[in-house]
A and B are shown apart, each in its own frame.
Chain A
Amino acid sequence: MPTTSTNIAPKFEVKSRASLASAPTKISVSNLNFFYSRTQALNDITVDVPERMVMAFIGPSGCGKTTFLRTLNRMNDVIPGTRVEGNVLIDGQDIYTPGADVVDLRRKVGMVFQTSNPFPKSIFDNVAYGLKINRLAANKRELHDRVEEALKDAALWTEVKDRLKTSALGLSGGQRQRLCIARALAIRPEVILMDEPASALDPIATSKIEELIIDLKKQYTIVIVTHNMQQAARVSDLTAFFLLGKLIEVNSTERIFTAPDQKLTEDYITGRFG
């Protein structure tokens, strides 16, 4: 299991800006509040995500972890009546500043959804879609190379290389989700957000996705929402525990699962609620 515990200060404060790891900060969120119309879904969230690490968000259903994940690529903009307060900095740039380019942001911050959502197109066209709309491939040769590379990175290439022109909807659930990961990787983002990417998959498909996440960490900063605490323990370096729209604790994964600072975290981890 990956560990970064050597870099942890003995007593970690939730609001502390001190980095948990030696890696530079990729995403820096401070005092974030989020509202669905009048309902406040996120309450004063402050957290830093270091570069090329996996941070897992855990917490019971409805605690705001998915909502928070979606504020990181402004996916909540799609939902009418939502409102954001506070700052989200990616590489030091405020993504909510007026005039910030959402299209640029989403190119940089890719997303994989809970239920796989391949387009009703061929396998090739699914992966090529992001490359085409962002004009990232100069010619057919390059387009093909980058699709192949993305499929290889998503550990799907050997399974689909002979049927790239067939429908993506003919793939199995696990393959579909890896296709969606390949689609996100193809445009070479810097951050990948994953919203319970394995929740609908069987254990074998899940372990493939988890291996993939650990592998992708070398190149990408990954934020993953998960219901499954074992999964968080297996894949992440850092874990953030959310409860009722509040961030209760952020810590190294090892520490969260062995000796958390907060009583609430301990209660949740040990299954006393949630």
Chain B
Amino acid sequence: MTPPGNAARDDDAAARDAARPRRRARSRYLAQALAPLRLVFHDRLATTGVAILAAVVFMALAAPLVATHDPRAITERAEGSWITLGPEGWRVRTAIGDDPLYGLSVHGDGALAVGANGLATLFDGRDWTPWPRSTTATLRGVAHGAPGAIAVGDGGAVVWYGGGEPRAWQLGDTDLHGVAWVDDGRAALVVGAGEAVWHVPLAALEADGGDLTATATRLASPVGRGLLLRAVATDADGSAIAVGERGLALTWSPADTPGGAGVLHQLTLPTFRDFNGLHVDAASGRALIVGERGTLLRREGLDARWVEDPPPDTRALRGAWIGPDGRAFAVGRNGVALAFDGEAWRRDATGTERHFRAVAEVAGTPVAVGSDPFVDKLAPPSSAHWFGTDHLGRDLFSQNVYGSRIALLVGFLGAALVVLIGTNVGLLAGYYRGRTDTVLMRIVDVMYGIPFEPFAMILVLLFDPSLLIVILAISLLTWRTVARLIRSQVLSLAERPFVKAARVAGASDLRILYLHIAPNVLPLVFLELAIILGASIIAEATLSFLGLGPPQSISWGGILHNARLSGAWRTAWWWNIPPGAFIMITVLAVFFISRALEVIANPRLRGR
């Protein structure tokens, strides 16, 4: 059918034609676009769908505001952790506050633990009773004994607990790490940075607090390299041992004359690794030193030789404890807990990644305390992490919030691409018919012969995964349904009088197609857009779940992929449930909307 030539029209009409139909066409597009909207808002389910979808879109757009954390950031947490060893193994107990614990000292049936911000808390075998804080310094070492308790910490902080209010003292200005009672409890030996060893008489501590530097005696170190001393302990014969970095070990001998401060000698041990912790059982003379890379030095008695034990784990050990019967414990970073049964060391599972600083047996129960900032892995939902954390300690709520971005991006872009291709193919095939129709519809037939899911997977596998290839994989096949549907609609539209009228008026093929026919299939396009949107979101989630999603991106399917890959999904329910629920709710919302729009395609459904 050839359109009549333009010569038949006069200039006046041409001018009118140029101005008016565009406006009329625009309003026709608008009216057709608004019609589905009316349908949606007359259907209760569809209105619900729109509300849900709007919420998800808002979540995607405002993800940085909605998310509580950076979804990729590994979150760390510090707390006053403690674990106890029972018949079933180590058990993580409810943390005592947010301040990490650094030192633990046993006296009788109780123990005193000290930690950050001047924390000191007394353990009676069951509960912890915090003592009033007299300093904000980090307390690193503590000695609990008959005269009372003394704690030392950063910046030369010393706290004396002798009944009544604790008294804060200042001793030098370097960080102090360890303390032990010597001279039968008449003095304390304090060690710290710069090979500092102080002899502090008990009498000086019982005053009102203030500066101890003048009354205490600083002993000269025989090494003189300015190394850090980390721990000190009283030995069975009344002497003391102090250990520190690079294999530094000193022995302290009491003074021959009363009131003297004693002398230091260097002790050479079988290794030059950093030592972190020391414990001596004063009754039996058994001793244990722990240090970096699983260093374990053990002494069977006062006069026995120090022997290096083969470690079952080579991570840094921080805390040591050895009993009169030869049993021993060592704890360290990342939840490492070792036990010695008299013959060999073994590693016990603690079920946590917390870092431990000290261990001791209190009233028959081994207790370990920590924890410096540790990666909060696989944490169940809490007020800090609403959906818990994953295997790398990343916040899952934030991941789920950001996951909506990929889902909607791929969903909308994919659906738009599908509808664009499908509508145009349908329009061309339906309008031109003949050979154009045959060729296009044979292509559609071929498309129908390809199973969608395996094809999309293969396509992503063949090319390197990227956002573009995922969108292409999803849309390359799905336009087939749109093309068929639009074509059949156009076939009947093309026979309508208004198309014939347009043709007689001299409109070009493109004008008829896109200004006269296209607006009439627009509602159908909206319906398909909604259907394909749901399908695209599911397809993207499926690809991401199989590890074929856009790389370096956070998506709902990807979260579930990580969960499966880590193997922790069988226990971490908080990891599995939210992403799938988000997918389900979003797709359901889209389905609700598309159901209302189905009336366009099939008016007989109206009023159901």
A complexed with B: no
Q: Give chain B's interface residues, CB within 8 Å of chain A.
A: none
